[in-house]
Amino acid sequence: MTRRRLLLLLLVLLLALQLRLWNGSGSWEQIVSLRREIGEQQQHNTSLRQRNDRLLGEVHSLKNNLDSIEERARNDMGLIREDETFYLIIEDSP
């Protein structure tokens, strides 16, 4: 009788551990999901790093290159020099 109870107890314990392995906290499913999220976050971080590098290059260029400042002023702010003439060409829409 004691062997039977011990065997039954061990089977119940094994089932409980299997359930936790497949469904509970720290299960295989959760591990796979977390690995997938880590991969997505790494891709996002890589794109942000590239963007930061590009912006850092722009900042460096603006600090050290007067042509960059002039180009930015012309394109973004519409500024012109004193000795230049500005022409605005407006096309008729059909």
**Mean pLDDT, rounded, of the chain:** 87
**Mean pLDDT of all residues in 31-52:** 96
42-82 pLDDT, tens digit per residue, is: 999 999 999 999 999 989 988 888 888 888 888 888 788 88
Structural domain boundaries of the chain?
A: 2-77
Q: Are 27 and 21 in contact (CB under 8 A)?
A: yes
Q: How far apart are CA 27 and CA 33, in angstroms?
A: 10
pTM of the model: 0.55
At 44 the pLDDT is: 98
36-74 per-residue burial string, b: 16 or more CB within 10 A, e: under 16: eeeeeeeeeeeeeeeeeeeeeeeeeeeeeeeeeeeeeee
